[in-house]
């Protein structure tokens, strides 16, 4: 069973490995990730946000589970070109409730495999470009808060500490595995399969997103 993990879960900082095979395990994980993403009202989700340290992410810019034709899967993605920059607001399902402006490339060219194993290359801009950059960062163990200036980051110190406190408390109470055990599970994981996901939460202990906590704007 997959679940979305939050900062400071080690999966979010773990170097993701390339996907070597597109099989039923991967397809099942992708489907579960879409459902989790819709539940959290997100528009994108990277594999390591569900504690699968493999290089793929999903997107549906509509955030609407009825719009299946808008679903996109990027496997082993690479951003091969970047053009000019633009600043805009971003959020993240692993840091729910935090939003900040981040400067990113305005236009990019992305190359990736889709779920049928076909290599594609696309030039994109606007929200799609931003979402792809945000998710590709996830695969590299990077979070959007890493880009914030110290002055901006100061405004989030308390919120970020809150996430850290919640996670450490879970570990101290034995509801979440230790960082060391999680890192070991991440390193040993043979496949991007839900059966192996290193969320580390005891059953029924997933971080529930309360209605009031749900992002007002799409998170990724
Ligand atoms: Ni994110």
Check residue 152 and give left, alpha or beta (phi > 0: left; psi -120 to 50: alpha).
alpha
Cα of 85 vs centre of ligand 1, distance in Å, is: 19
Cα of 84 vs centre of ligand 1, distance in Å, is: 22
pLDDT at 194: 84
The mean per-residue pLDDT over the stretch 107-115 comes to 98
pLDDT at 25: 93
Active site residues: 135
Q: Do 99 and 87 meet the contact criterion of CB atoms below 8 Å apart?
A: no
pLDDT at 202: 80
pLDDT at 139: 98
What is the number of other CB atoms lying within 10 angstroms of the CB of residue 191? 16
**Is pLDDT of 2 > 50?**
yes
HSE-up of 182 (CA within 13 Å, CB side)?
26
Confidence band (pLDDT; 50, 70, 90) for 212? very low
Cα of 42 vs centre of ligand 1, distance in Å, is: 9
pLDDT digits (tens, 9 = 90+) for 139-184: 999 999 999 999 999 999 999 999 999 999 999 999 999 999 999 9
pTM of the model: 0.92
Average pLDDT, whole number, for the chain?
Answer: 93
Q: Give the span between the Cα atoms of 59 and 127, in whole angstroms.
A: 11
CATH superfamily of 10-203: Peptide deformylase (3.90.45.10)
HSE-up of 163 (CA within 13 Å, CB side)?
18
pLDDT digits (tens, 9 = 90+) for 44-99: 999 999 999 999 999 999 999 999 999 999 999 999 999 999 999 999 999 999 99
Cα of 44 vs centre of ligand 1, distance in Å, is: 7
**Is pLDDT of 14 > 60?**
yes
pLDDT at 1: 83
pLDDT at 92: 97
Cα of 116 vs centre of ligand 1, distance in Å, is: 25
């Amino acid at each position: 069973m997959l679940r979305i993990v939050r900062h400071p879960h080690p999966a979010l900082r773990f170097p993701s490995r390339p996907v070597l095979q597109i099989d039923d395990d991967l397809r099942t994980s992708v489907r579960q990730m879409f459902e989790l993403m819709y539940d959290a009202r997100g528009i994108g989700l990277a594999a390591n946000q569900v504690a699968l340290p493999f290089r793929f992410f999903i997107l549906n810019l509509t955030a609407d589970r009825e719009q299946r034709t808008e679903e996109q899967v990027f496997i082993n993605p690479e951003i091969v070109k970047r053009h000019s920059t633009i600043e805009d607001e971003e959020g993240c399902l692993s840091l729910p409730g935090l939003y900040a402006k981040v400067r990113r490339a305005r236009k990019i060219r992305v190359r990736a495999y889709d779920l049928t194993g076909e290599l594609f290359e696309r030039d994109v801009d606007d929200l799609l470009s931003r979402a792809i950059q945000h998710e590709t960062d996830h695969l590299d163990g990077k979070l959007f808060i890493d880009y914030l200036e110290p002055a901006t980051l100061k405004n989030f110190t308390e919120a970020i500490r809150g996430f850290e406190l919640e996670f450490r408390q879970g570990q101290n109470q034995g509801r979440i595995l230790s960082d060391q055990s999680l890192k070991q599970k991440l390193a040993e994981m043979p496949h991007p399969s839900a059966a192996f996901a290193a969320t580390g939460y005891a059953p029924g202990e997933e971080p529930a997103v309360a209605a009031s906590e749900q992002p007002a704007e799409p998170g990724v």
